């Protein structure tokens, strides 16, 4: 029988003995819910991103929800949002009772929210704007901060792809991070919220736990007797097991992000040499955490056929993302609204494997396999 090539995974968490030991310590301690490890994780994450503090939560979606709710965004308000994002970005807006307003991207090779189009979409009801640094590629948050201040808007960063970024984040407005399994670091599920305003930050901290003024740990350790509920909140808490994972993963995050950037550079060089018709968005010098390796296939390519050919050759791939405004749930938000650049990017984008366990040989194999798949269609 012919040898079967090993599978090249799209994304793979790096887990080992340190994570196993950290989880065992939590179980041995007997304290599983939000406690001292969660607080330690918040502190360490804040220090890594050079901000005063952080709020650990159950997911990035929860972080986005709290970012909006803690700034009183709700019914009757409009929020400018990207369509080129994971649907959670927009779901969070709807969850607080506000209305999403979709904005186009700059260009297919720069899938970031377009500031000029955002200006055109402003109305008297616009209260916030959510930006999403696609794939971990940094946005010009200074320009967006100026735009937000000019129009008295809350600037929210969906930083789900950006853990460990060297670009300032959580400074210009609230920023929500994800620790889902496919992210640069993982707690399986989980997220983190950075809020520059200390009062809003503490409000978000209360709202993640039902609006209560004291936690279970505070009462158990005698730091509080009873509690008050000062507003309606949610159960968006992180537990000690996830925080323990996060503390271990966070230590290696800078190393992993550096490796992702090295692999991305190798992809760019290999694609430029072997498949010049396939381009990588952004520039090689663009600051990034390198969460994703997106490419743009030549116009007219049968992407499904390419993905099937990759899969047959033991190479995983994906699409990031189907535009949100084309989903059934959001198709009636503004049915006359067209987002041509978003739609072109969404039709041509293909995500290739990228994670620290890959070798440069794996990257070369992915590029060669992609070339074979495209050659069948006589596109390159």
Rg of the chain on CA atoms, in Å:
22
User: How many angstroms separate the CA atoms of 376 and 35, rounded?
Assistant: 56
Helix 360-376 to helix 240-274 angle, to the nearest 10 degrees? Answer: 60
User: How many angstroms separate the CA atoms of 57 and 317, rounded?
Assistant: 29
Of the candidates 182, 162, 183, the residue with the CA atom closest to the CA atom of residue 171: 162
Is-catalytic flag, 338? no
Q: Indicate the burial class of 6 (C-beta count within 10 angstroms; 0-12, 13-18, 19 or more).
A: exposed
Question: H-helix or E-strand containing 313?
Answer: none
Q: Taking a C-beta distance cutoff of 8 angstroms, is the pair 277, 336 a contact?
A: no
Q: Catalytic residue among 172, 183, 208, 259, which? A: 183
The two structure tokens encoding residue 69: 């709710």
Write the Ramachandran bin of 221: left for phi over 0, alpha for psi from -120 to 50, otherwise beta: alpha
Strands 349-352 and 110-113: unpaired
CA dihedral 232, 97, 236, 163 (to 10 degrees): -140
Q: Taking a C-beta distance cutoff of 8 angstroms, is the pair 233, 206 a contact?
A: yes
CB within 8 Å of 322: residues ≥ 6 apart: 346
User: How many angstroms separate the CA atoms of 74 and 160, rounded?
Assistant: 22
The two structure tokens encoding residue 29: 């301690």
How does DSSP assign 71-100, residue by residue?
A: TT--TT-EEEEESSS-THHHHHHHHTT-EE
For 270, other C-beta atoms within 10 Å of its C-beta total 18
User: How many angstroms separate the CA atoms of 87 and 79, rounded?
Assistant: 14
Question: What residues are labeled active site?
Answer: 183
């Amino acid at each position: 029988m012919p040898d079967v090539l090993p599978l090249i995974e799209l994304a793979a968490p790096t887990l080992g003995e340190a994570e196993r030991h950290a989880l065992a310590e939590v179980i041995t301690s007997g304290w599983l819910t939000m406690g001292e490890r969660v607080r330690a994780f918040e502190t360490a994450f804040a220090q890594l991103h050079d901000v005063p503090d952080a709020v650990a939560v159950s997911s990035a979606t929860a972080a986005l929800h709290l970012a909006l709710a803690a700034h009183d965004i709700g019914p009757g308000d409009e929020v400018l949002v990207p369509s080129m994002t994971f649907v959670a970005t927009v779901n969070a807006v709807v969850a607080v009772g506000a209305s999403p307003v979709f904005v186009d991207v700059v260009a297919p090779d720069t899938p970031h929210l377009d500031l000029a189009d955002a200006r055109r979409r402003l109305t008297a009801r616009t209260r916030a704007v959510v930006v999403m640094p696609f794939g971990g590629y940094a946005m010009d948050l200074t320009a967006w901060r100026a735009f937000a201040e000019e129009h008295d808007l809350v600037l929210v960063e969906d930083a789900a792809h950006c853990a460990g970024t060297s670009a300032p984040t959580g400074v210009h407005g609230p920023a929500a991070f994800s620790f889902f399994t496919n992210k640069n670091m993982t707690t399986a599920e989980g997220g983190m919220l950075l809020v520059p305003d200390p009062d809003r930050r503490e409000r978000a901290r209360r709202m993640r736990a039902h609006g209560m003024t004291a936690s279970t740990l505070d009462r158990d350790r005698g730091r509080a007797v009873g509690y008050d509920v000062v507003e309606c909140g949610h159960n968006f808490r992180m537990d000690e097991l996830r925080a323990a994972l996060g503390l271990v993963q966070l230590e290696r995050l800078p190393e992993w992000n550096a490796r992702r950037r090295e692999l991305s550079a190798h992809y760019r060089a290999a694609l430029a040499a072997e498949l010049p018709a396939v381009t990588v968005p952004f520039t090689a010098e663009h600051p990034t955490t390198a969460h994703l390796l997106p490419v743009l296939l030549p116009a007219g390519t049968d992407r499904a056929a390419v993905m099937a050919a990759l899969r047959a050759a033991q190479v995983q791939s994906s699409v990031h993302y189907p535009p949100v405004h084309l989903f059934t749930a959001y198709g009636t938000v503004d049915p006359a609204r067209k987002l041509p650049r978003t739609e072109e990017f969404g039709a041509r984008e293909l995500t290739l494997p990228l994670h620290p366990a890959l070798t440069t040989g794996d990257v070369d194999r992915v590029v060669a396999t992609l070339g074979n798949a495209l050659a069948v269609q006589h596109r390159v």
